[in-house]
């Protein structure tokens, strides 16, 4: 069994971060782990190993990935939480951080038995994700877990004020807000010799992130019928990636739409700067998306890429507040195409939006946001 080791005259507290993904592309958790490491915690990030998982790049903290019997559906979630529970039960640790509702049950039961500290980091309004909206029985089970545990939590935070307000009103909790903003990108961060995995002879319209339902990806693909002399590049993986690949072939858009699959965190930063416009056109299908504040929005800002975005409240507050692009009231191929064309034909506006991004990136960066995180965890060091 591992034991804490001394730093000077103090013991370094052991902290475990639990997620259900394979750790390869979760930039929020990577940033949190790095900040907690700087605070003096001994950090281990725990996730799962998938059949297609790539080898992890070396990190400054420890990692552990579980091999599971099931990789999707209710059996996966049960399998993961049971595996996580027994891992925590026999692991020497002081604090465990549950990232999202799908890790909370295993973490909660383990900390109830071991009397260790539990922190809850809610990345989204989990019970309102599109995958659950039309599945009332499964949604009700997740709500039971949430209702049974969340009111008992002492240390919790989420990604935007709208979701924090909902939880606090619903459960009488005190959720803080730690937005998923990236580290500030400096000019010397870029590799000038890097070549992106797509042509750049035409303007590039980029979507980066999870390729899941409700993200407006299919509508963006169809929009390219009405956009000339530009390419759409979709970077990411998810539940509808194969459907999107089929859609591109069926619509004969292979020359105008490129789906690259997942890219590592450090490479994604190199890629985004080649974009002309960044898309974050989520659809209003459930409260989770209505109050979404996607990390890709902040990634575009750090790369000084003007944004075409949905008129959802948290997204609109950033796009309109900093004047970094255009918001649209509906996610349709026609509106997406119309506004892409308008942006590409407005060079003066593009220059202004890029300039505003360069101002906004100074404020909307992890170097500022992590101060809130440090305030949450300083009582646990």
Tokens 């399998």, residue?
Answer: 79
Angle at 18 between CA 14 and CA 22, to 5 degrees: 125
pLDDT at position 188: 64
Whether 9 has a pLDDT exceeding 70, the answer reads no
pLDDT at position 186: 73
What's the rounded Cα separation, in Å, for the pair 339 and 193? Answer: 32
Tokens 């027994």, residue?
Answer: 86
Tokens 């993904």, residue?
Answer: 21
What's the rounded Cα separation, in Å, for the pair 82 and 77? Answer: 9
**What is the token pair recorded at 242?**
């194969």
Tokens 């939590």, residue?
Answer: 153
pLDDT at position 4: 43
What's the rounded Cα separation, in Å, for the pair 284 and 37? Answer: 37
**Mean pLDDT value across residues 201-226:** 95
Q: Which residues pair with 10 in a beta bridge?
A: 7
Of residues 12 and 313, more confidence is placed in 313
Check if the beta carbon of residue 18 is closer than 8 Å to that of residue 84.
yes
What's the rounded Cα separation, in Å, for the pair 268 and 101? Answer: 27
In this predicted model, what pLDDT tens digit does every residue of 259-273 receive, in sequence order?
Answer: 999 888 778 888 999
In this predicted model, what pLDDT tens digit does every residue of 329-346 receive, in sequence order?
Answer: 999 999 999 999 999 999
Confidence category of residue 185, pLDDT binned at 50, 70, 90 = confident
In this predicted model, what pLDDT tens digit does every residue of 94-104 receive, in sequence order?
Answer: 999 999 999 99
What's the rounded Cα separation, in Å, for the pair 213 and 251? Answer: 19
Check if the beta carbon of residue 325 is closer than 8 Å to that of residue 353.
yes
Distance from first CA to last CA of the chain, Å, rounded?
21
Of residues 150 and 24, more confidence is placed in 150
pLDDT at position 45: 97
Whether 348 has a pLDDT exceeding 90, the answer reads yes
Whether 11 has a pLDDT exceeding 80, the answer reads no
pLDDT at position 12: 83
Whether 7 has a pLDDT exceeding 90, the answer reads no
| Number of C-beta neighbours around residue 191 at 10 A | 10
Picking from 307, 287, 296, the residue whose alpha carbon sits closest to that of residue 350 is 307
Of residues 123 and 188, more confidence is placed in 123
Check if the beta carbon of residue 46 is closer than 8 Å to that of residue 68.
no
What are the backbone dihedrals phi and psi of residue 260, each rounded to the nearest 5 degrees, phi first? -90, -15
Confidence category of residue 10, pLDDT binned at 50, 70, 90 = low
Domains of the chain: 6-181+366-377 (3.40.50.2000), 187-363 (3.40.50.2000)
pLDDT at position 5: 41
What's the rounded Cα separation, in Å, for the pair 56 and 37? Answer: 18
What are the backbone dihedrals phi and psi of residue 244, each rounded to the nearest 5 degrees, phi first? -70, -40
The reported pTM is: 0.84
pLDDT at position 3: 39
Ranges of H-type helices in 90-117: 104-114
Whether 373 has a pLDDT exceeding 70, the answer reads yes
Q: Which residues contact 332 (CB under 8 A, 6 or more apart)?
A: 219
Whether 184 has a pLDDT exceeding 80, the answer reads yes
Picking from 135, 60, 94, the residue whose alpha carbon sits closest to that of residue 381 is 94
Pairing of strands 10-11, 6-7: antiparallel
Whether 381 has a pLDDT exceeding 90, the answer reads no
In this predicted model, what pLDDT tens digit does every residue of 122-139 receive, in sequence order?
Answer: 999 999 988 888 889 999
Whether 2 has a pLDDT exceeding 60, the answer reads no
Q: 36-40, 61-65, 263-267, 292-296: which range is least confident on average? A: 263-267
User: Percent of the chain beyond pLDDT 70?
Assistant: 97
pLDDT at position 350: 98
Extract the runs of DSSP E, i.e. beta strands, from 220-356. 231-235, 257-261, 277-280, 307-310, 325-328
10: enclosing H helix or E strand? strand 10-11
**What is the token pair recorded at 93?**
């640790």
Q: Which residues contact 141 (CB under 8 A, 6 or more apart)?
A: none
Q: How many helices (H) and strands (E) does the chain have?
A: 15, 15
Check if the beta carbon of residue 314 is closer than 8 Å to that of residue 295.
no
pLDDT at position 6: 42
On average, the pLDDT of the chain sits at 92
What's the rounded Cα separation, in Å, for the pair 294 and 301? Answer: 12
CB half-sphere exposure, 199, CA atoms < 13 A: 9
67: enclosing H helix or E strand? strand 62-67
């Amino acid at each position: 069994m591992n034991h804490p080791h001394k730093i000077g005259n103090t013991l370094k507290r052991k902290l475990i971060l639990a997620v259900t993904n394979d750790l390869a592309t979760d930039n929020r958790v990577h940033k949190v782990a790095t900040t907690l490491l700087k605070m003096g915690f001994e950090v281990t990030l725990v996730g799962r190993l998938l059949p297609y998982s790539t080898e992890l790049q070396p990190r400054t903290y420890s990692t552990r990935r579980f091999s599971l019997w099931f990789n999707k559906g209710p059996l996966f979630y049960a399998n993961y939480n049971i595996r996580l529970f027994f891992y925590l039960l026999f692991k020497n640790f002081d604090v465990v951080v549950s990232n999202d509702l799908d890790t909370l049950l295993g973490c909660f039961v383990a900390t109830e038995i071991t009397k260790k500290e539990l922190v809850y980091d809610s990345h989204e309004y989990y019970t309102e994700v599109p995958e659950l909206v039309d599945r009332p029985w499964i949604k009700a089970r997740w709500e039971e877990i949430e209702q049974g545990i969340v009111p008992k939590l002492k240390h919790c935070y989420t990604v935007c004020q709208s979701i924090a307000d909902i939880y606090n009103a619903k459960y009488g909790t005190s959720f803080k807000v730690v937005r998923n903003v990236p580290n500030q990108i400096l000019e010397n961060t870029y590799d000038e010799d890097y070549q992106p995995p797509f042509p750049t002879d035409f303007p590039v319209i980029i979507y980066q992130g999870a390729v899941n339902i409700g993200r407006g990806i299919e509508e963006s693909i169809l929009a390219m019928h009405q956009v000339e002399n530009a390419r759409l590049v979709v970077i990411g993986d998810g539940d509808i990636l194969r459907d999107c690949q089929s859609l591109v072939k069926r619509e004969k858009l292979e020359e105008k739409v490129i789906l690259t699959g997942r890219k590592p965190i450090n490479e994604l930063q190199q890629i985004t700067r080649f974009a002309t416009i960044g898309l974050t056109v989520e659809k209003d299908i459930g409260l989770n998306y209505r109050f979404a504040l996607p990390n890709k929005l902040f990634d575009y800002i750090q790369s000084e890429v003007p944004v075409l975005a949905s008129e959802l409240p948290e997204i609109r507050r950033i796009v309109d507040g900093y004047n970094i692009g255009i918001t649209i009231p509906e996610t349709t191929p026609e509106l997406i195409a119309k506004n892409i064309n308008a942006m590409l034909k407005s060079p003066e506006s593009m220059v202004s939006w890029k300039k505003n991004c360069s101002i906004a990136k100074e404020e909307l960066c992890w170097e500022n946001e992590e101060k809130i995180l440090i305030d949450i965890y300083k009582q646990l060091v």
